[in-house]
């Protein structure tokens, strides 16, 4: 198997070119400049063939909200192998180096192909729901409490000062959400014309609360369209974040009542968005679940001690972690703290399963029913299922 080398700032242009080529994309100069601002070259790795980079990967450090707190995370990104160089162990070499070098207790990624990353100990920790709806068939319930005034529409850059505090307050209580320091807001509102697929520019709708301060926002873009039946425009919703039910209802009223629009699509919504309970006759809202954030633990004691639990568990977890064998062993989770132990295990599970349940979004019982978590002490499964559950559904609204 080939080895991965640690790269430097001199390799950044070649890194971006190879990564885009692996995904069959054109590396536009403005995208390269954005990613160069986001990426620490000291955390890039690559594999070369005949002097050219043919496989890439990097870590983007972020802060991840977990139940009851937050934890530093290694955001694994830019992972790709150029066509003609696949099936040679390059991906494993990249992942080996990235995880060996990681300084954070938790790693995370979005998977282009979900079947790949279980072998490296990553489990599906959040779901990503695609919502599609015909706007002439969707209306809000008559008893929905609405704000007094409609949202204000702004260019996203002009809205940042107003929407950033809203995001931060919601992020602090929503497992799966990530901080947006540095240039991450630049990426979130990045809107080059070549990525619009014929749509208009990205817009921000800002919904004020009763005190006149922003309480919610939506990032969206409209696309004009016509057919024999008249206007057939569409709207793509990039993100909707709201602090209160009234702010959320105001934003949805605005989106559902846009003129000349027939359809709306939201790719990265929560698994159970309140929209389905705001709408009358939500059978007109098509929902399709997909994979969201993949998580794996690199420092089990620190990661499990960083979150809170629905009930105070007293459990011994027997962990099998072939890719990071130093993480294998038995861990006692008691009084909100996790420590290694020699006690007999109550549950047996792998790194992939531990990552999946970490944010409280994947039920322990579902993995047990699939034979992927084994109960070794009667009653331990029910205890773990209750303890790991999150009161707030985990959601990651952005791909990094």
Report the catalytic residues: 117, 400
Between the two ends of the chain, the Cα-to-Cα distance in Å is 28
Is residue 111 a contact partner of residue 78, using CB atoms and an 8 Å limit? no
Strand-pair partners of 109: 294
Phi, psi of 149 (to 5 degrees): -130, 150
Sign of the C-alpha dihedral, residues 157, 61, 69, 363? Answer: positive
> Using alpha carbons only, what angle is made at residue 112 by residues 97 and 37, rounded to the nearest 5 degrees?
60
Of the candidates 70, 78, 93, the one whose C-alpha atom is nearest the C-alpha of residue 40 is 78
The CA distances from residue 63 to 71, 158, 207, 230, 291, in Å, are 6, 25, 27, 47, 20
Widest pairwise Cα distance in the chain: 72
Buried b (16+ CB within 10 A) or exposed e, 287-304: beeebbbbbbbbbbbebb
Give, to the nearest 10 degrees, the angle between helix 29-38 and helix 12-22.
110
């Amino acid at each position: 198997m080939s080895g991965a080398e640690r790269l430097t700032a001199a390799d950044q242009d070649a890194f971006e070119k190879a990564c885009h080529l692996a995904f069959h994309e054109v590396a536009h100069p403005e995208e390269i400049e954005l990613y160069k601002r986001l990426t620490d070259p000291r955390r890039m790795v690559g594999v070369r063939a005949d002097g050219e980079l043919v496989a890439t990967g990097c870590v983007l450090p972020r802060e991840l909200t977990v139940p009851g707190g937050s934890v530093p995370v290694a955001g694994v990104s830019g992972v790709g192998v150029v066509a003609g160089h696949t099936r040679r162990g390059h991906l494993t070499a990249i992942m080996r180096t990235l995880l060996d070098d990681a300084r954070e207790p938790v790693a995370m990624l979005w998977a282009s192909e979900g079947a790949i990353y279980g072998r490296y100990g990553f489990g599906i920790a959040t779901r990503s729901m695609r919502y599609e709806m015909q706007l002439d068939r969707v209306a809000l319930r008559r008893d929905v409490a609405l704000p007094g005034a409609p949202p204000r529409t702004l260019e996203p850059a002009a809205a940042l000062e107003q929407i950033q505090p809203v995001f931060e307050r919601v992020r602090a209580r929503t497992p799966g959400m990530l901080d947006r320091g540095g240039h991450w807001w630049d990426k979130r509102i990045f809107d080059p014309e070549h990525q619009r697929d014929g749509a208009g520019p990205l817009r921000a709708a800002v919904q004020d609360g009763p005190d006149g301060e922003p309480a919610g926002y939506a990032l969206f873009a409209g696309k004009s369209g016509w057919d024999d039946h008249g206007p057939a425009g569409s709207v793509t919703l990039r993100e909707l974040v709201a602090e209160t039910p009234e702010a959320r209802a105001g934003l949805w009223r605005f989106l559902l009542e846009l003129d000349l629009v027939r359809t709306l699509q939201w790719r990265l919504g929560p698994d159970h968005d309140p929209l389905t309970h705001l709408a009358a006759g939500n059978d007109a809202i098509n929902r399709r679940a997909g994979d969201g954030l993949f998580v794996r633990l690199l420092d089990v004691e620190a990661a499990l001690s960083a979150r809170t639990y629905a009930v105070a568990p007293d459990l011994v977890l027997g962990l099998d972690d072939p890719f990071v064998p130093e993480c294998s062993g038995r861990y006692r989770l008691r009084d909100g703290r996790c420590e290694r132990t020699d006690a007999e295990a109550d549950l047996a599970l792998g790194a992939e399963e531990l990552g999946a349940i970490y944010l409280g979004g994947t039920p322990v019982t579902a993995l047990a029913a699939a034979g992927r978590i084994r109960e070794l002490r009667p009653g331990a499964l029910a205890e773990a299922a209750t303890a790991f559950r999150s009161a707030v559904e985990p959601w990651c609204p952005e791909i990094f």
